[in-house]
Amino acid sequence: MVRGVYIQRSGSERMTLEKALERYLADVTPTKKPTTRKAETAKAKQLIERLGKYSLAALSAEIIADYRDKRLASTSNRGRPISNNDCPHSRAGREKLCRASR
């Protein structure tokens, strides 16, 4: 309860990030260009692999920051460091996912 307003969280407590991403990939991604579909699918697989078991309500800023920090410390498939430019793009993707899962 925030400022006397009840916020229904049961849906976000039941839905995992994996289920939300799968729903997004099934409902929203097919409407996009083929290159965008491929990129979103690859990014979703990474998120599902590392954060998929968390419920949407359980995801916190600390968990996401930890994921971001580990991701930036790793290397890409080509052996190059992950670019700092990928973080804002990842954040935008997470925001799209949240809007789509409502």
User: For residues 33 and 74, what is the distance between their CA atoms, to the nearest angstrom?
Assistant: 29
Domain presence at residue 32 = yes
Please tell me the pTM assigned to this model: 0.68
Q: What whole-number distance in Å separates Cα of residue 12 and Cα of residue 50? A: 18
Residue 30 falls within a domain, yes or no?
yes
Per-residue pLDDT of the chain (102 residues; tens, 9 = 90+): 456 665 666 666 788 999 999 999 999 999 999 999 999 998 899 889 999 999 888 888 898 888 888 888 877 777 777 666 655 556 666 666 566 555
Q: CA–CA separation, 66 vs 51, rounded Å?
A: 11
Is 86 a member of any domain? yes
Q: How many domains does the chain have?
A: 1
- Tracing tokens 């920090």 back to the chain, one arrives at 69
Q: What is the pLDDT of residue 65?
A: 85
2 within domain boundaries: no
Residue 87 resides in a domain: yes
* Domain carrying residue 32: 10-100
Query: How far is residue 20 CA from its own chain's centroid?
Result: 9
The confidence score (pLDDT) of residue 67 equals: 86
